[in-house]
Amino acid sequence: MKISLILIISLFCLRSSQAQSQTLNLGGAAPKGYYAELPYEFIGGKIIIKAELGGKLRRFLLDTGAPVAISKGLSAELKADLIYNNMIRDVNGVADSGAVVRLGHIRLGNIDFVDIPAVVVESDFYKCFDIEGVIGSNLFRNSMITIAGDRRLVIITDQPDKLKLNPKSSVPMITTGKNNQQSNPFIKVTLKHGVGMLLGFDTGDSDFMRFTDDYMKQLQNKGVYDIVAKGYGANSVGLFGLQAVADKYLLKLSAISIGLARFNNVITETNKGGLPAMGTKLLEYGNVTLDFIKGKFYFDAHKPVHDLNRKTWPFQPVVSDGKLVVGLIWDKSGNSVKPGEQITEIDGKAYPSVSLCEMITSKQPLLAGKESAIILIKDQQGKSRKLLITKN
């Protein structure tokens, strides 16, 4: 993987210990027959849109892997009515309690949404992206939404005739189920040998794909992937912090098909918990439409076949306590580094301290365009050593 922070900010799912009638799938657009185009900013692989709440235009993360959410400060400003309290789980499965409130009015473009439930959470990531919350899937559950990466445009409508869609480019999309209280979209993709697989589509994730140990085990006898490397460490940061240190696997999936498009040699890594999904890197290869009304996912690819084979670095860093440290290590690195060791210099550029916000919003990875680099490592005893690393 590229030697930069692999940060998965979203996918905080609700697991209710209360009645199943307590759902986030409430409220909606009024009146019907709407269409709006919203420009968006693309920062660190995240889609940032503007929405009006409380008479002010505010910035939000567009996250199809999460419900609508607002900060505690915005909840207090709006004096939002409490609906109930519930448990929130981030992308790594870490849980915390959170309030669910009712937002009387949200305006996206010229579309008014009323009585939308929202989770109240506080996150340092909000400050990094200068946002006040998340616009999530429970708001879109009766709509169609197109994300046109080539135009940096989000289209929201309930009128299919407004969108030029090719039925052959679609795959089934599931948003229902007893545990899906927020209408998260899951799409059916096809692997080698015609093996089907359900993946979430999560615009809060800036990677192409995230995978899980469970999925790897389910597919181990299907002949659809090869294990490229085994690793150990942590490199994913969720809503409630860095994931737990664990074994990981680097996989190469022979092929993944979405409608008329095929991706060959897809490199991905496994996680112990969470849910497998595709992220916003998919938008580099085409535009997507999520039809929540009819349960269809359209992928309008720029070309029919993409080869995603790539070299990887021997380890991945993370930010910990304002320092750049070794997070995840692949077995190809041998004993050259250990998790937690500080990276103080890369190709002569010093990193005595680092800002998490700067790292996750940066337009360029740390080693963009390089095949090798010399890094300076400081061990737990404070001793420094130089190390040549290469992609392979």
- Give the integer Cα–Cα distance in Å for 208 and 225: 16
In sequence order, which ranges of 273-355 are alpha helices (DSSP H)?
Answer: none
**Residue that is last in its domain, among 310, 326, 348:** 310
**pLDDT above 70: residue 199:** yes
Q: Give the containing element (helix H, strand E) for 388.
A: strand 384-390
CB contact at 8 A, 59 and 130 = yes
**N- to C-terminal Cα separation, the chain:** 10
Tokens 């090719």 belong to residue: 166
- CA neighbours closer than 13 Å in the CB half-sphere of residue 27: 24
Tokens 């948003």 belong to residue: 175
Hey, how many other C-beta atoms are within 10 angstroms of the C-beta on 307? 10
Q: Which two tokens stand for residue 175?
A: 């948003």
Q: pLDDT tens digits for 269-300?
A: 998 877 899 999 999 999 999 999 999 999 99
CB contact at 8 A, 298 and 259 = yes
- Give the integer Cα–Cα distance in Å for 293 and 83: 26
Tokens 């799912």 belong to residue: 13
2 part of a folded domain: no
Between 10 and 104, the more confident residue is 104
49 part of a folded domain: yes
Q: Which two tokens stand for residue 88?
A: 């929130």
333 part of a folded domain: yes
Same domain? 360 vs 270: no
Q: What is the mean pLDDT of the chain?
A: 89
18 part of a folded domain: yes
220 part of a folded domain: yes
**pLDDT above 80: residue 148:** yes
Average pLDDT over residues 335-358: 91
CATH code of the domain covering residue 331: 2.30.42
| Residue 191 bridge partners (DSSP) | 256
The residue range of the domain holding 358 is 315-390
Q: Residue 175 has what pLDDT? A: 94
CATH code of the domain covering residue 48: 2.40.70.10
Same domain? 359 vs 274: no
- Give the integer Cα–Cα distance in Å for 80 and 190: 43
Per DSSP (E only), the strands in 66-121 are: 69-70, 81-89, 95-108, 111-120
DSSP class of residue 244 equals P
Same domain? 13 vs 140: yes
Q: Kindly report the pTM of this predicted structure.
A: 0.91
Torsion of CA 99, 100, 106, 112, to 10 degrees: 180
Give how far Cα 98 sits from Cα of 38, 73, 323, Å.
Answer: 30, 14, 30
Q: Which residues contact 226 (CB under 8 A, 6 or more apart)?
A: 251, 252, 254
Q: Give the containing element (helix H, strand E) for 140.
A: helix 137-140
CA angle 355, 310, 281 (to 5 degrees): 55
Same domain? 195 vs 338: no
Q: pLDDT tens digits for 231-273?
A: 987 666 555 555 567 789 999 999 999 999 999 999 999 988 7
- Give the integer Cα–Cα distance in Å for 171 and 207: 21
- At 288 the three-state DSSP class reads strand
**Residue that is last in its domain, among 249, 277, 310:** 310
Q: pLDDT tens digits for 124-140?
A: 889 999 999 999 999 99
Same domain? 39 vs 16: yes
1 part of a folded domain: no
Same domain? 362 vs 285: no
Q: Residue 184 has what pLDDT? A: 94
**pLDDT above 70: residue 80:** yes
Average pLDDT over residues 176-188: 86
94 part of a folded domain: yes
Same domain? 236 vs 293: yes
In the chain, how many domains are there?
Answer: 2
Same domain? 229 vs 374: no
Q: Residue 13 has what pLDDT? A: 43
Q: Residue 198 has what pLDDT? A: 95
Same domain? 166 vs 266: yes
89 part of a folded domain: yes
Give how far Cα 14 sits from Cα of 118, 121, 183, 283, Å.
Answer: 11, 12, 11, 27
Same domain? 166 vs 286: yes
- Closest listed residue to residue 204, CA positions, set 57, 12, 28, 53: 12
Same domain? 291 vs 350: no
Same domain? 306 vs 323: no
**Residue that is last in its domain, among 310, 330, 352:** 310
Exposed/middle/buried for 196, CB within 10 Å: 0-12, 13-18, 19+?
A: exposed
Q: Residue 234 has what pLDDT? A: 67
- Give the integer Cα–Cα distance in Å for 153 and 175: 23
Q: Which two tokens stand for residue 114?
A: 């009323």
